[in-house]
Amino acid sequence: MVQAKHALVVGASSGIGRAVAHEVAPLVTKLTLASRPCPPDLISSIKERNSSIEVTHVKLDVSSLHEVRKFTDNHKDAAFDWIILSPGILSIKGRTETPEGLDVKMATHFYGRDLMAQAFSEKASSASFMHAMPGAVATSIANGLPCYLRIPAKAVTPLVARPAEQCAKYMVSALTKEEFNPVAT
Residue 17: inside a domain, yes or no?
Answer: yes
pLDDT given at position 111: 97
Instruction: Give the CA distances from residue 17 to residues 24, 29, 87, 96, in Å, rounded to whole numbers and listed in that order.
Output: 11, 18, 7, 24
Q: Is the pLDDT of residue 125 over 70?
A: no
Mean pLDDT (whole number) for 78-105? 92
pLDDT above 70: percentage of residues in the chain: 91
Mean model confidence pLDDT for the chain: 91
pLDDT above 90: percentage of residues in the chain: 75
Categorize the per-residue pLDDT at 134 as very low, low, confident or very high, splitting at 50, 70 and 90.
Answer: confident
Task: Please tell me the pTM assigned to this model.
Answer: 0.90
Nearest CA to 134 out of 2, 5, 15, 12 is that of 15
Q: Is the pLDDT of residue 26 over 60?
A: yes
pLDDT given at position 128: 63
CATH, residue 159: 3.40.50.720
Would you say how long the chain is, in residues? 185
pLDDT given at position 182: 60
Q: Which helix (H) or strand (E) holds 8?
A: strand 6-10
pLDDT given at position 50: 95
* Count of domains for the chain: 1
Which tops the pLDDT comparison, 18 or 78? 18
Mean pLDDT (whole number) for 60-64? 97
Find the domain containing 99 and state its range. Answer: 6-180
Residue 21: inside a domain, yes or no?
Answer: yes
| Secondary structure letter of residue 103 according to DSSP | B
pLDDT given at position 131: 76
Torsion from C-alpha of 155, 156, 162, 168, nearest 10 degrees = -70
pLDDT given at position 185: 46
Residue 1: inside a domain, yes or no?
Answer: no
Residue 59: inside a domain, yes or no?
Answer: yes
Q: Is the pLDDT of residue 183 over 50?
A: yes
Note whether 7 and 31 are within 8 A (CB): yes
Categorize the per-residue pLDDT at 107 as very low, low, confident or very high, splitting at 50, 70 and 90.
Answer: very high
